[in-house]
Amino acid sequence: MTLISRRNVLAGLAASSVSSIATARHEQRHSSAASNVVPLSSDERRRHADALLRYFAANAPQMLRAPDGILKHPSIAQAVPGKTYSAQLWDWDTLWTSQGLFRLAALEHDESLKQKLCEHVSGSLLNFLDHASPTGQLPIMMTADNPDAFRIVAQNETSRNQAKPVFGQLGLLACDQRGDVKWLEPHFDSILRFYDSWVKRNSSTIGLLVWGDDVAIGDDNDPTTFGRPFFSSANLLLNCLFYQDLLASAELARRLGRSTDHDRLSRQAEELAQRIQMFCWDPRDSYYYTVDVQCVDRRAELIPTVPRGMDMSWRCLPIRIQMFTGFLPLWCGIASQENAQNLVRTNYLADDRLRAQSGVRSLSNRETMYSLDFSSNPSNWLGPVWIIANYFVWKALQRYGFKKEADELADKTIRLLSKDLETNGSLNEYYHPDTGAALSHKGYITWNLLVLEMI
């Protein structure tokens, strides 16, 4: 029998106390570091906003690209000429760039810019639809001399990936700004075939869409998809974008007088929302997770002579890695008020795992994969702040009544980009979450324009 002395017990209690105090101080330090941001005064906000508006207004005309090569319609570039991505037409980047540019035209009361944008945003959508496969697949990225840089439309059965589902949203944006839907009528069936191709080729057994592989998935090195087996990851970004796009196309169908399509798309969206809620919400962590759909009961195959016993009651497993994508069900309104309140209070306001000085970490700093190193391809979503992530979370906070926290995030984003302009003379692709230092691709514009909605 081992004897335990009183001295050892007291020493253990003392050590435990010191450890608890250290842990409490550590957590307090992280929590205060995340929230210790002085709100912008009205004068500061105006100064930062004016600097950003001047920069975007000066560069916006250079982002309007004339027809070129196989891109037979005018389109929207993601950067100014000569910078990274300037010669490429990307799927979801085009949506956010277009949305930001329309916001710029509204703030500047520039009707001429708005009219040009209507032509170029509509043209961007038509360029994609021009290069759809007969069964509906659309390319992820195009250039003037290559309609399918990732060889998506060429029946790539290895992954069956294709463009992200944003084209209903892009079409609705253009229709809203033009005040007209008739121009889209001849092309609407191409969008519907695009949805059908996603469902037919990339549906999982639980009704969520899966990426075939990790090439050009948007948040490129998201550990819930990057490096994982083919067709295993029902990624939240993919499914929430698809939900939002179905709703947008349902509205387009209504305006076009296509009631059957409207009803079908609305039902499809509602069913997808229910599945995201059912399979992706984790009550233990109060967070939405991408899920692994590889759960297969193989006992009948592997041990056919042994009684099977209890059946598997689960059809997927949460990949408990906290990406910014956990906020996307809030962004698109799928989350219940209770779930949203619990998620924000437990995982955003409690500490600095996602909430940083410069905005929202793309990956929680509690994850072992967390890294702020520069990575040009795939781009780094392992912690750096991306303005699109700030935007998603800002919209989520607004939607569920966290006005003070949304205003704080807006201030961080405005301050971050204004400081980048002052320091570097341009904007960048992503940023250090704690210092705000630019980490890649000087001259990047695209969805950085979304800061204009926060002004």
3-state SS, 385-405, equals: ECHHHHHHHHHHHHHCCCHHH
Whole-prediction pTM:
0.91
Question: In a 3-state reduction of DSSP, which class is residue 287?
Answer: strand
Q: What are phi and psi of 233, to 5 degrees?
A: -105, 110
Query: CA 362 to CA 355: how far, in whole Å?
Result: 10
Question: In a 3-state reduction of DSSP, which class is residue 133?
Answer: coil
Asked whether the beta carbons of 60 and 101 are under 8 A apart, the reply is yes
At 301 the pLDDT is 87
Band of pLDDT at residue 115, cut at 50, 70 and 90: very high
Query: CA 326 to CA 222: how far, in whole Å?
Result: 12
Helices 387-399 and 337-347: angle between axes, nearest 10 degrees: 130
Q: What angle do CA 155, 160, 161 make, to 5 degrees?
A: 115
Asked whether the beta carbons of 347 and 322 are under 8 A apart, the reply is yes
- Identify which of 352, 359, 417 has the alpha carbon closest to the alpha carbon of residue 385: 359
- Check residue 219 and report its DSSP letter: S
At 329 the pLDDT is 98
Q: Could you tell me the CA-to-CA distances from 413 to 14, 210, 262, 432, 449 in Å, in that order?
A: 44, 31, 37, 12, 11
Mean pLDDT of 433-448: 94
Q: Could you tell me the CA-to-CA distances from 11 to 3, 18, 21, 225 in Å, in that order?
A: 15, 11, 15, 46
Q: Residue 373 has which token pair?
A: 């190193």
List the domains of the chain with CATH numbers.
Answer: 42-180 (no CATH), 203-299+313-347 (1.50.10.10), 351-455 (no CATH)
At 154 the pLDDT is 67
Mean pLDDT of 224-247: 97
Q: Residue 78 has which token pair?
A: 């993601």
Element (H, E) at 374: none
At 34 the pLDDT is 59
Measured between its terminal Cα atoms, the distance across the chain in Å is 70
> What does the DSSP assignment read for 220-233?
TT-TTTTTPPTT-E
The string of pLDDT tens digits covering residues 318-375 is: 999 999 999 999 999 999 999 999 999 999 999 999 999 999 999 999 999 999 988 7
208 half-sphere exposure, CB direction, 13 A CA radius: 31
Q: What angle do CA 315, 316, 317 make, to 5 degrees?
A: 140
Band of pLDDT at residue 306, cut at 50, 70 and 90: confident
The string of pLDDT tens digits covering residues 68-100 is: 999 999 999 988 888 888 899 999 999 999 999
- Identify which of 121, 123, 81 has the alpha carbon closest to the alpha carbon of residue 102: 121
Band of pLDDT at residue 221, cut at 50, 70 and 90: very high
At 5 the pLDDT is 41
Asked whether the beta carbons of 322 and 367 are under 8 A apart, the reply is yes
- Burial of 410 (C-beta count, 10 Å sphere; 0-12/13-18/19+): buried
Element (H, E) at 23: helix 6-35
pLDDT at 3 over 50: no
CA dihedral 332, 338, 281, 161 (to 10 degrees): 0
